[in-house]
Amino acid sequence: MILCGGAGTRLWPLSRQTYPKQLLPIAGGQSLLQQTARRVAGGRFSPTIIVSGEDQRHFIKQQLEAIDAPVEAILLEPAGRNTAAAAALAAAWVTKQGRDELLLLMPSDHVIADQDAFLRALEIGAAHAENGAIVTFGAKPTEASTQYGYIEADTSAPSPDGAYPIARFVEKPDAVTAAEYVASGRFSWNCGIFLAKASTILEEMRQFLPASLETISEAVEKATTDDLFVRPAANAFNRAENIPIDIGIMEKTARGVVVPVDMSWSDVGSWDAVWKLGPSDADGNVIHGEVLALDTSGSFLRNDGAALIATLGLERIAVVAVRDAVFIAPMDRVSEVKKIVEALAGRKPDRVTHPAKRKND
């Protein structure tokens, strides 16, 4: 099950509300969605279930058809209600088909460079999920990042297979606390990937978010289907609580298990994260498109526009240009791009909502 919602505003100006980052080739020749779908194609995986919104439905279908990715259904949320509702929606829909399968819940906009390590972790997690656990996969930290949430494993007892009960979830810490977490060896980054039987998800929803489960179940029962597109009843689904699965279920359940895994993971959540992923030149610059960089170091320079980007004397600066906008910021402030998006929403909303124009537009 691939979660394909969200606006991806932290990668503005390339990512826009109706064409967000998961549909873009941010890290490689394929979009993040296509990379995610290929990650779970073939082998023991069933055809994918996508959860998204109306705005992106045709883009999603076209991109998955382009790589021949098998898709069972595209569940279209009438309104975004966060990941607990999305998980319950998929679980309820699968149950309605008369099945109780393991559901692998994955964001559509992440990068996992070590596919083999990821698959090995899934094998470990599957045994626990079959026995009723909700398994999450914690990415091994590569630095004391304050941009991610953390999962603490209960390592009080040895683990024969590398899976541990979850001691706690922690929201984004300060730098000192993050360094302590990494040094302890007990903490992983929370990368938002979960594995559980459909029935397990519904049971935990029934315990912790009963009103949401009731209204989502009603929405699924009254859903309409058009080819791959499944539309839950809006008047029911929109009453579901807007809450992440981490907070709504995982922080409360006694069935949580974490499998720490070193899989070279990134949520590609900001331009400095994209910079860290890209191949750099001798000066530490990551360059994409038509760029002339002189006396420039440690910078991210991406040109998807029509005019040449020429830089001189820059150090640790991000420059991202598209046909209708250019974003420039110090590398350590690129995550603040949301301030620009908020300001533009009232002044030039099309620069936030509509896809950036391409060179040949």
Q: Which of 266, 295, 330 is the last residue of a domain?
A: 266
Give the confidence band of 256 by pLDDT, cuts at 50, 70, 90.
very high
Distances (CA, A) of 53 to 56, 76, 81, 169: 6, 5, 11, 28
What is the distance of C-alpha 265 from the center of its chain?
11
What lies within 8 Å, CB to CB, of 156 at 6+ separation is none
Q: Is the pLDDT of residue 227 over 80?
A: yes
- 143-182 pLDDT, tens digit each: 999 989 999 999 998 899 999 999 999 989 999 999 999 9
What pLDDT does residue 356 have? 79
On whether residue 8 sits in a domain, the answer given is: yes
Note whether 222 and 311 are same-domain residues: no
Q: Is the pLDDT of residue 137 over 90?
A: yes
Note whether 135 and 203 are same-domain residues: yes
Q: How many structural domains comprise the chain?
A: 2
Give the pLDDT mean for 39-60: 92
What lies within 8 Å, CB to CB, of 114 at 6+ separation is 262, 263, 264
What pLDDT does residue 5 have? 82
**Using CB atoms within 10 A of its CB, is residue 343 exposed (0-12), middle (13-18) or buried (19+)?**
exposed
Q: What pTM does this model have?
A: 0.92
What pLDDT does residue 55 have? 87
Note whether 59 and 154 are same-domain residues: yes
What pLDDT does residue 358 have? 55
- 82-123 pLDDT, tens digit each: 999 999 999 999 999 999 999 999 999 999 999 999 999 999
On whether residue 215 sits in a domain, the answer given is: yes
Average model confidence (pLDDT) across the chain: 94
Give the pLDDT mean for 229-254: 96
Percent of the chain with pLDDT over 90: 87
What is the distance of C-alpha 100 from the center of its chain?
24
On whether residue 358 sits in a domain, the answer given is: no
What pLDDT does residue 317 have? 98
Q: CA-CA distance, 286 to 316, in Å (whole number)? A: 11
Q: Which of 248, 266, 284 is the last residue of a domain?
A: 266
Note whether 122 and 196 are same-domain residues: yes
The CA dihedral of 33, 35, 39, 40, to the nearest 10 degrees, is 30
Q: Is the pLDDT of residue 225 over 60?
A: yes
Written as one letter, the residue type at 190 is N
On whether residue 359 sits in a domain, the answer given is: no
Cα separation of the two ends of the chain = 34
Note whether 123 and 164 are same-domain residues: yes
Percent of the chain with pLDDT over 70: 99
Query: For residues 315 and 278, which has the higher predicted lDDT (pLDDT)?
Result: 315
Among all chains, which residue has been given the structure tokens 């949430």? 149
On whether residue 226 sits in a domain, the answer given is: yes
Note whether 92 and 170 are same-domain residues: yes
On whether residue 305 sits in a domain, the answer given is: yes
Note whether 347 and 210 are same-domain residues: no
The CA dihedral of 75, 81, 87, 93, to the nearest 10 degrees, is -40
On whether residue 209 sits in a domain, the answer given is: yes
Note whether 209 and 347 are same-domain residues: no
- 304-331 pLDDT, tens digit each: 999 999 999 999 999 999 999 999 999 9
Note whether 216 and 309 are same-domain residues: no
Q: Which of 249, 266, 283 is the last residue of a domain?
A: 266
Note whether 250 and 280 are same-domain residues: no
Give the confidence band of 361 by pLDDT, cuts at 50, 70, 90.
very low
What pLDDT does residue 18 have? 85
Domain that holds residue 66: 2-266
Note whether 255 and 336 are same-domain residues: no
- 54-72 pLDDT, tens digit each: 888 999 999 999 999 999 9
Note whether 209 and 315 are same-domain residues: no
What pLDDT does residue 281 have? 96
CATH number at residue 75: 3.90.550.10
Q: Is the pLDDT of residue 257 over 50?
A: yes
On whether residue 78 sits in a domain, the answer given is: yes
- 15-38 pLDDT, tens digit each: 998 889 999 999 888 999 999 999
